[in-house]
Structure 1
Amino acid sequence: MTDIVRRGTTARYSDSVSHAGVVHLVEVPASEGTDIRTQTRETLASIERQLAAAGSDKSRILIATIYLVDMADYDGMNEVWDAWVPAGCAPSRACVRVAGLARDGWRVEIALAAALR
C-alpha cells in the first residue's frame, strides 16, 4: 500500500497531495485584479515551487485543467503557458470558462497532476 503524502495541509485544503507516484495540486494567482499574463506567471511560479517540494517538476506534468473567468484571456494565458512548458513536454490539457473563481479579482486557476521522480 502506498502512503498518501499531504503538504501544506490546513483544515480546508492541502497545497499538494501525492499518492502512487503522482502529485496533485491546484494553484491560483498571488495577486488580484492584475492582467492575465501576470496572474498566469504567478500561478505557474507557485506550481513550479509546489512540484519541486513534492519531488517533481514541470516536465513531468501529466494533465492540467485551466479555469478562466473570461475566454478573452485565453491567448494571453497561452502565451505565458507555452513559454513555461518545456519543449516536448506538453501535458494533456483542458481549458474551461467558469462563471467565477473564489476571489473576484482572480482570472485563472490551474489544477494538475504530475509524475514524481
Structure 2
Amino acid sequence: MSEITRVTPGVRMSKATIFNGVAYLCGQVPDNSDCGIKDQARNMLEKVDALLKEVGSDRNHVLSVIVYLRDMKDFAGFNSVWDTWFEEGHAPARACVETRLARPELLCEVSVTAAVIAK
C-alpha cells in the first residue's frame, strides 16, 4: 500500500499531499493582492511553480486545475497570463468558476493536481 506524504502539514491543511505519484496542492492565492488580475495571476502562478518544484513536479506535469475568480469580468485578463504559462501541448484539464474568495482583495485562486516526476 502506498504511503501518503504531507508537505508542511498544519492544523488546518498541508501545503500539498502526495499519493501514488500524484500531488494535490493546497489552494494558491497571490501575495500581491493590492494590484489587478494580471499581476495577481502572475504572482500566484509563480507560487504554484515553487510548490510544484518542492513536490517533485513542474507545470508541464499538471493534470488538472480549478481556477476561482472573484468576478468573471477578470476571465480574459486571467487567461492572458494563463495562456503563456504552459508550453504548447501541455495545458491541463481545467475548470473556472466565479466565487467569493477568503479576502475581498483577492481576485483569483487555483487548486492544482500534478504528476510527481522526481523524488
Q: What band does the TM-score fall into relative to the shorter chain?
A: over 0.9
- Which residue number in structure 1 is paired with residue 52 of structure 2? 51
Q: Separation in 1 of the partners of 2:3 and 2:103?
A: 33
Q: Separation in 2 of the partners of 1:101 and 1:11?
A: 21
Instruction: Please give the root-mean-square deviation of Cα atoms over the aligned residues, in Å.
Output: 0.8
Q: Separation in 1 of the partners of 2:47 and 2:95?
A: 19
Runs of at least 4 residues off by over 4 Å: none
Q: Separation in 1 of the partners of 2:19 and 2:73?
A: 36
Identity %: 37
Q: Which runs of 5 or more structure 1 residues have no equivalent in the other structure?
A: none
Q: Separation in 2 of the partners of 1:27 and 1:86?
A: 21
The alignment's TM-score, normalised by the length of structure 1, stands at 0.96
The CA deviation at 1:31 is 1.9
- Which residue number in structure 2 is paired with residue 3 of structure 1? 3
Is 1:19 aligned to residue 35 of structure 2?
no
Deviation digits for residues 63-101 of structure 1 (CA, Å, limit 9, x no counterpart): 100000110100110010111111110000000011x11
Number of residue pairs matched by the alignment: 116
The alignment's TM-score, normalised by the length of structure 2, stands at 0.94
> Which secondary structure state, in structure 2, belongs to the residue aligned with residue 67 of structure 1?
strand
